[in-house]
A and B are shown apart, each in its own frame.
Chain A
C-alpha cells in the first residue's frame, strides 16, 4: 500500500500567486481530510469529504481557499491569491469512514508564501 500521497512536498511562491496542493488517498478509503498545521495554531481541519462530497468546510479560512474531490482517488486544495499568512504545512489524511478508524496522513506540503 502506497499510503496517502501528497504533492508537492515543498512549495515556495510569491504573494498573490495561485497555489494548488494535491492528494491521492488510500484506495478504498471514503473519507478525506485537509488539515493545516502551524506552530501558533497546531493542526486545524480545513475541510472534510465523504464519498467525494464536501461535508464540513467550516474550517476553510476564507474565499481564497477552495477544495475539490472530483473522484475517489484525487483531491486538490487551491489558494488564490496566496498570502504570507498562508505559510504552513498542509496535510491530507484519509480513513475508511468508521468513527473508530484511524486517520492515515500524507507526508504534507510545506508551503512558504513570500
Chain B
C-alpha cells in the first residue's frame, strides 16, 4: 500500500459546483497534513494546512479523519481558476520529511 493515495481523476465539474477530494494515508503516526496546489508546468504551492478540528479558508474546507486515516478537501462554488492538480501531503510524527500523493486533477469548465 502506498503511503499516501489519491484518486488521480480528472474531476470535471462546471463552474459553481461543489467538489470534494479524499486522500488516504498508511502511517498512523502521521501528525502533519497539508493540501498543495500545482498548476500545469508549475511548482507545487501550499494551499492550506489541515488541522485536527477541520479548517476553512474561503471556499476551501479541509478535514482530517484520524480513525479512518484520510483527509479531505472540499471546494465550494468552483471557479475556472481552480483548475489544477491538488496534492495531498503527509508528515509522519517527528519527521521533517513530507510525503506527497500523486495528486488529483480538477478541471472546472464554463
Main secondary structure of the interface of A (DSSP, over half): strand
Chain A 35-46 near chain B by CB (<8 Å), digits 1 or 0: 100000111010
A48 is contacted by which of B34, B45, B46, B96 (Cβ under 8 Å)?
B96
Instruction: Evaluate whether A99 and B43 lie within 8 angstroms (CB atoms) in the complex, with A42-B100, A48-B96 already known.
Output: no
Contacts of B103 in A (CB 8 A): 42
Does B102 count as interface, using CB distance less than 8 angstroms?
yes
* Most chain B CB inside 10 Å of its own CB: which residue of A41, A55, A105, A107: A105
Beta-carbon contact of A56 and B32 below 8 Å: no
**B87 contacts partner chain A, Cβ-Cβ < 8 Å:** yes
Question: Within residues 2 to 55 of chain B, which ones have a CB less than 8 A from any CB in chain A?
Answer: 31-32, 34, 42-46, 49
User: Is the interface on chain A under 10, 10 to 19, 20 to 34, or 35 or more residues?
Assistant: 20 to 34
Cβ-defined contact, A45 with B97, below 8 A: yes
- B49, B87, B99, B102: the one within 8 Å of A100 (CB): B49
Check A105/B96 contact, CB under 8 A, given A42-B103, A43-B87, A99-B91: no
Instruction: Name A99's contact: one of B32, B45, B46 (CB within 8 Å).
Output: B32
- The residue that B46 contacts in the complex, of A41, A56, A102, A108, with Cβ under 8 A, is A102
Nearest to B48 among chain A residues (CB) is: A102
Known: A45-B99, A48-B96, A56-B97. A105 touches B45 (CB 8 A): yes
Judging by beta carbons under 8 Å apart, are B42 and A48 in contact?
no
Counting chain B CB atoms within 10 Å of each CB, the highest count among A31, A45, A91, A99 belongs to: A99
User: A8 within 8 Å of B by Cβ?
Assistant: no
Once bound together, how far apart are the Cα atoms of A84 and B37, in whole Å? 28
Can you list 15 contacts pairing A with B, beta carbon distance less than 8 Å? Answer: A33-B97, A42-B103, A43-B100, A43-B102, A45-B97, A45-B99, A48-B97, A55-B96, A91-B43, A91-B44, A100-B32, A103-B44, A103-B46, A105-B44, A105-B45
Write the residues of chain B forming the contact surface with A, with a CB cutoff of 8 angstroms: 31-32, 34, 42-46, 49, 87, 91, 94-103
